[in-house]
A = this chain, B = another copy of it.
Amino acid sequence: MKFTKQREALAKKIFSTRSHFSAQDIYESLKDRVQISRATVYRTLNLLVENHIIEEHDFGRGKKFYEFILGLESHNHLICLRCGKIEEFKSDLIEKVVDEIARERNFKVSRYSFNVYGYCSECQKELFKDEKRK
């Protein structure tokens, strides 16, 4: 495993980003500072996913989102359908549900995703305003 400038730049970026990002986000934010191609971004992200350094999510928006997870607690997501904001939340109950269903069905769990889609508090206000305007 070689340590290239591309990998260095990508790693720095990812370690310093707390939020969720797409391959394109990473490419955009690096391309002016380092010589890097989309192909390298995709390849490196896949490597990081395989090594459980980042996690891949599908929020139903036609592209993958990634999130740094190394050493962090697992959590679930609230996705706003209007502004796209992603909030996180934890729930011990969810873990229990997963364990229980795994036992019941004799299913060996690798991972799970729990995504709640709807409208964040700010966007609810905006939607209400829109409603009045009509």
A interface residues (Cβ-Cβ under 8 A, vs B): 56, 58, 60, 78, 81, 87, 89, 91, 93-94, 96-98, 101-102, 104-121, 124
How many copies of this chain does the complex contain?
2
Out of B78, B109, B115, B118, name the residue touching A117 (CB < 8 Å): B109
In Å, the complex CA distance between A96 and B124 comes to 22
- Closest chain B CB from A123 CB (angstroms): 8
A46 CB to closest chain B CB (Å) equals 13
| Complex: A111 Cα to B70 Cα, angstroms | 29
Contact B101 A110 (CB under 8 A): no
Give the CA-CA distance A99 to B113 in the complex, in Å: 17
Contact pick for A60, options B56, B89, B116, CB 8 Å: B56
